[in-house]
Amino acid sequence: MTTKIGILGYGNLGRGVEKAVLKNSDIELKAIFTRRNPKDLKVNSSAQVCSVDDIENWKDKIDVLIICGGSATDLPVQTPKYAKLFNVVDSFDTHANIPQHFSAVDEIAKSSKKIGIISVGWDPGMFSLNRLYANCILPDGKDYTFWGKGVSQGHSDAIRRIDGVLDARQYTIPVNEALEAVRSGKNPELSTRQKHTRECFVVLKEGADAKKVEQEIVTMPNYFADYDTTVHFISKEELDKNHSAIPHGGFVLRCGETSDNTKHLIEYSLKLDSNPEFTSSVLIAYARAAHRLNKEGQCGCKTVFDIAPAYLSPKSNQELISTML
């Protein structure tokens, strides 16, 4: 079965989905929808580029719409809105607001008889799945999530807003000693400072005061004050040359006991050259699932917790059993 998809939004994530399609022979990219003037959009595929205003015309031409907007303002509006017309998949990642987003999408997807899969990616997404599986197997245990090494877009943006800063890139780095303490089965209590450090590469504007900028970064509440933060001042050329990639990753661990002094450690980790390309690849797998579930007559909002793993694969159940079980 082929799944025909559309992409809404052509930023890092949208371009990632466009690339991921090339690795999945059963997925066909039909259209890219944009709020910009379609003529101004240079895309890397033969997909039709359309104004989002014309999206309703595609109602019967695509099986799933992958919504590649941001979680702050785009997705809370777009995902419910387009669940009226399409099966939709998004990567909504504002953890605290997921219940509200779920309800909004669920109500509309149920009335339109479509599937909406929200919060797909790696965290939320694959990390969530691993937390869930590990908790079900080891109910008596303790969870740990570490992020990095990777670029935090939010923290990079926060530095860029400081007076005197031209550009910046921030890396979140897990503390190896903390990771090893968890792996050793000690079930440590770890403070924010003990789990991650932050490393910043900053390009100053001409005449800016480096000491002052550094002070403003390391004392910034919520973003940096609770962490050991290192600041490096570099040239714009150096930033562009060595820090233009968007790597990320992290670790989900659970250590638990099944009886006295009988411990078990479950560890899942990701090391990603490109955060948006990996997230996009997860979105594609769940787009396939959305299409199949809807074909079976299911509707409403789902998360990764609600999807049986076999739905993500283009292979038949028999093939899966004989090659992967």
Nearest distance from residue 101's CB to a second copy, in Å?
10
Q: Which of 83, 75, 119 is nearest to 307 (CA)?
A: 119
Nearest distance from residue 52's CB to a second copy, in Å?
26
Q: Which of 313, 269, 267 is nearest to 123 (CA)?
A: 269
Nearer to a second copy, 2 or 322 (CB): 322
Q: How far is it, in rounded angstroms, from Cα 90 to Cα 69?
A: 8
Nearest distance from residue 73's CB to a second copy, in Å?
21
Binding stretches for a second copy (CB under 8 A): 16, 19-20, 22-24, 95, 98-99, 102, 119, 124, 126, 128-133, 135-140, 183, 258-259, 261-274, 277-278, 280-282, 285, 288, 303-310, 312-313, 317-318, 320-322, 324-325
Nearer to a second copy, 233 or 268 (CB): 268
Nearer to a second copy, 205 or 315 (CB): 315
If one counts every other C-beta atom within 10 angstroms of the C-beta of residue 293, the result is 21
Nearest distance from residue 40's CB to a second copy, in Å?
24
Nearest distance from residue 268's CB to a second copy, in Å?
5
Nearer to a second copy, 37 or 318 (CB): 318
Nearer to a second copy, 21 or 204 (CB): 21
